[in-house]
Every structure is written in structure tokens, then in C-alpha cells.
Amino acid sequence: MNREAETGLAPALLEWLERADHEPVHGWAPDLPIGELRCHPDLVARLAEIARPIGDTRRQFVAGCPVIHYPNGRPIAAAAGTSWLVVRSALPAGALLSAQPLAAPLEPDWVELDPWAVGVAFARAVDLLRGHVARAYERAEADA
């Protein structure tokens, strides 16, 4: 199966999100040069805006895409392309339901969300997105 052809996502990113053996992540990785990104800079900034205030989140880049981690290493959110955002919240997407989901082959607790939430007020969308990241962080903390 050619995962990149089916989803448009780098296989290395999907494999990273599916792994169960992550090492602790230290710090917040700086932004990559634009030529190394496989995620639009606006989406990188959006993910940082929603994730940074949550607990002690960490960021690293995998296959040119930002991945948010719980400090023990468990990934809790990731973004790619111009609008692909997943969060390991296991919550219903609600108003953040992605209009064009990629249906990436991830565990069911990964929820694909619309990071731009067209039709939802900006501040409300940010709050809803942060709620998903906060829930993913709490779940990772409980599993630690």
C-alpha cells in the first residue's frame, strides 16, 4: 500500500504517529526553513498557537511537519500540508469537523480537525482546538 499516494502524507509522519516507543522530547524545536517544510507556515503557526499554552507541550518536526508531544515523548497532535490537523483527543470533532478529511490510517483516538474552522468565530475555533489538545495532553499524562 502506498500511504503517501492514498493520503498525501509522508509515510514517515504516519509511522511516527503510530509508534508506541517514543523517547522523551526536550524543548520546543525552532521553525524549520521554509524549504524543509511539508506543512504550510500558517498551519505551523496555528498549531503552535493552540498547543504552546497547554501544559508543558514539546514540538519537533517529523518529515517536515510539526508534531506536538507530551514530555514523555507521546505525540498528541500533528499537522501537514495546508489544512491537515490531527489530535489524539478521542473527542468528537463537532464544529471542527474537517470538510475534506484524508482518512489517514491512524488509531481511532486520533481525530482529524479543521484547523481553520470556517464558519466558527476565530476565538471560538482557537478555544475548541485548544480543548482537543488539552484533552490529548491529559490522556497522555494519565498514561505516563
Q: Domain range for residue 50?
A: 3-143
pLDDT at 2: 41
pLDDT (tens digit per residue) in 67-103: 999 999 899 999 999 999 999 999 999 999 988 888 7
Longest dimension (CA), the chain: 40
Rounded to whole angstroms, the Cα distance separating 42 from 33 reads 13
CB neighbourhood size of 144 (10 A) = 10
Instruction: Decide: 69 and 101 in contact? Cβ < 8 Å.
Output: no
pLDDT (tens digit per residue) in 26-57: 999 999 999 999 999 999 999 999 999 999 99
Three cell numbers, residue 118: 470556517
Domain count, the chain: 1
Number of residues assigned to the chain:
144
CB neighbourhood size of 43 (10 A) = 21
